[in-house]
Amino acid sequence: MKHLMSSMNNNEFYIGYLPAAPAGLGKMMRKVIILLLAAASVAAIILVINQKPFYPSVYEFGHTRTFEGILHDWPYPILLVARPGQTGESSVYSQYLLVGDGKFGAVALTKGLGGKRVRLNGALIYRDDQTMI
Protein backbone atom coordinates (compact mmCIF):
# COMPACT_ATOMS: atom_id res chain seq x y z
CA MET A 1 0.00 0.00 0.00
CA LYS A 2 3.00 2.24 0.60
CA HIS A 3 3.84 2.03 -3.11
CA LEU A 4 0.30 3.07 -4.03
CA MET A 5 0.36 5.96 -1.59
CA SER A 6 3.67 7.25 -2.96
CA SER A 7 2.02 8.05 -6.31
CA MET A 8 -0.40 10.43 -4.58
CA ASN A 9 0.64 13.95 -3.66
CA ASN A 10 0.10 14.59 0.09
CA ASN A 11 -1.49 17.94 -0.68
CA GLU A 12 -4.28 16.44 -2.76
CA PHE A 13 -7.74 16.37 -1.26
CA TYR A 14 -10.87 14.93 -2.84
CA ILE A 15 -13.94 17.16 -2.88
CA GLY A 16 -17.12 15.38 -3.90
CA TYR A 17 -18.82 18.21 -5.74
CA LEU A 18 -15.87 18.86 -8.09
CA PRO A 19 -16.11 17.22 -11.55
CA ALA A 20 -12.89 15.16 -11.17
CA ALA A 21 -10.62 13.84 -8.43
CA PRO A 22 -7.00 15.07 -8.19
CA ALA A 23 -4.64 13.32 -10.66
CA GLY A 24 -2.62 11.46 -8.01
CA LEU A 25 -5.69 10.20 -6.18
CA GLY A 26 -7.32 9.13 -9.46
CA LYS A 27 -4.18 7.20 -10.47
CA MET A 28 -4.06 5.44 -7.09
CA MET A 29 -7.78 4.53 -7.28
CA ARG A 30 -7.32 3.06 -10.78
CA LYS A 31 -4.53 0.81 -9.44
CA VAL A 32 -6.62 -0.25 -6.45
CA ILE A 33 -9.65 -1.03 -8.64
CA ILE A 34 -7.55 -3.04 -11.11
CA LEU A 35 -5.97 -4.96 -8.20
CA LEU A 36 -9.39 -5.72 -6.69
CA LEU A 37 -10.81 -6.85 -10.06
CA ALA A 38 -7.82 -9.13 -10.60
CA ALA A 39 -8.18 -10.60 -7.09
CA ALA A 40 -11.92 -11.16 -7.61
CA SER A 41 -11.25 -12.86 -10.97
CA VAL A 42 -8.65 -15.18 -9.45
CA ALA A 43 -10.99 -16.02 -6.55
CA ALA A 44 -13.84 -16.81 -8.99
CA ILE A 45 -11.60 -19.08 -11.07
CA ILE A 46 -10.38 -20.92 -7.95
CA LEU A 47 -13.97 -21.45 -6.76
CA VAL A 48 -15.08 -22.79 -10.15
CA ILE A 49 -12.12 -25.17 -10.43
CA ASN A 50 -12.67 -26.55 -6.91
CA GLN A 51 -16.46 -26.93 -7.19
CA LYS A 52 -17.69 -30.50 -6.99
CA PRO A 53 -19.95 -31.68 -9.83
CA PHE A 54 -23.69 -31.74 -9.24
CA TYR A 55 -25.22 -35.10 -8.40
CA PRO A 56 -27.28 -36.57 -11.21
CA SER A 57 -30.88 -36.04 -10.15
CA VAL A 58 -34.36 -35.75 -11.67
CA TYR A 59 -37.43 -33.87 -10.45
CA GLU A 60 -40.66 -34.82 -12.21
CA PHE A 61 -42.07 -31.31 -11.86
CA GLY A 62 -45.72 -31.10 -12.81
CA HIS A 63 -46.08 -34.88 -13.18
CA THR A 64 -48.20 -35.72 -10.14
CA ARG A 65 -48.86 -39.33 -9.21
CA THR A 66 -50.92 -41.04 -6.51
CA PHE A 67 -49.11 -43.21 -3.96
CA GLU A 68 -50.59 -45.52 -1.37
CA GLY A 69 -48.72 -47.15 1.47
CA ILE A 70 -47.84 -47.19 5.15
CA LEU A 71 -46.49 -43.96 6.59
CA HIS A 72 -43.66 -43.97 9.12
CA ASP A 73 -43.02 -40.61 10.72
CA TRP A 74 -39.96 -41.31 12.89
CA PRO A 75 -37.11 -40.33 12.62
CA TYR A 76 -38.28 -38.73 9.35
CA PRO A 77 -41.39 -39.18 7.19
CA ILE A 78 -41.14 -42.16 4.87
CA LEU A 79 -43.78 -43.94 2.80
CA LEU A 80 -43.53 -47.72 2.43
CA VAL A 81 -45.21 -48.88 -0.77
CA ALA A 82 -45.70 -52.61 -1.36
CA ARG A 83 -43.90 -53.96 -4.42
CA PRO A 84 -46.21 -56.18 -6.45
CA GLY A 85 -45.03 -59.76 -6.86
CA GLN A 86 -42.06 -59.47 -4.46
CA THR A 87 -41.35 -62.50 -2.30
CA GLY A 88 -38.34 -63.97 -0.56
CA GLU A 89 -35.50 -62.20 1.21
CA SER A 90 -35.51 -59.01 -0.84
CA SER A 91 -37.45 -56.07 0.55
CA VAL A 92 -41.14 -56.22 -0.28
CA TYR A 93 -41.48 -52.43 0.11
CA SER A 94 -40.19 -49.45 -1.81
CA GLN A 95 -39.22 -46.61 0.51
CA TYR A 96 -39.97 -43.00 -0.45
CA LEU A 97 -38.74 -40.10 1.65
CA LEU A 98 -41.46 -37.49 2.01
CA VAL A 99 -40.83 -33.75 1.64
CA GLY A 100 -43.06 -30.71 1.61
CA ASP A 101 -43.24 -27.90 -0.93
CA GLY A 102 -39.80 -26.60 -1.85
CA LYS A 103 -38.21 -29.85 -0.60
CA PHE A 104 -38.64 -28.78 3.03
CA GLY A 105 -39.39 -31.28 5.74
CA ALA A 106 -42.78 -32.99 5.85
CA VAL A 107 -42.88 -33.63 9.61
CA ALA A 108 -45.74 -31.17 10.17
CA LEU A 109 -47.69 -32.61 7.23
CA THR A 110 -47.45 -36.19 8.52
CA LYS A 111 -47.94 -35.59 12.24
CA GLY A 112 -50.25 -38.17 13.80
CA LEU A 113 -50.24 -40.46 10.75
CA GLY A 114 -47.35 -42.74 11.77
CA GLY A 115 -48.11 -46.42 11.16
CA LYS A 116 -51.31 -45.69 9.21
CA ARG A 117 -52.17 -46.53 5.64
CA VAL A 118 -52.33 -43.32 3.58
CA ARG A 119 -52.92 -42.18 0.02
CA LEU A 120 -51.11 -39.08 -1.22
CA ASN A 121 -50.35 -37.19 -4.41
CA GLY A 122 -46.91 -35.92 -5.32
CA ALA A 123 -44.10 -35.73 -7.84
CA LEU A 124 -41.05 -37.99 -7.70
CA ILE A 125 -37.53 -36.72 -7.09
CA TYR A 126 -34.61 -39.07 -7.81
CA ARG A 127 -31.02 -38.73 -6.66
CA ASP A 128 -28.54 -41.61 -6.55
CA ASP A 129 -30.41 -44.49 -4.88
CA GLN A 130 -32.88 -42.24 -3.04
CA THR A 131 -36.38 -41.40 -4.16
CA MET A 132 -38.54 -38.69 -2.64
CA ILE A 133 -42.15 -37.68 -3.04
pTM: 0.57
Helices (H), the chain: 2-6, 23-50, 107-110
What number is the average pLDDT over the span 102-107?
78
Q: Rounded to an integer, what distance in angstroms lies between the CA atom of residue 45 and that of residue 39? A: 10
Domain ranges of the chain: 2-50, 57-132
Q: Report the chain's terminal Cα–Cα distance, integer Å.
A: 57
Give the CB-side neighbour count of residue 111, counting CA atoms within 13 A: 4
Strand, helix or coil at 37? helix
∠ CA 64-128-118 to the nearest 5 degrees?
A: 40
pLDDT per residue as tens digits for the range 65-98: 999 999 998 888 999 998 877 666 557 888 999 9
pLDDT per residue as tens digits for the range 15-46: 878 888 888 888 999 999 999 999 999 999 99
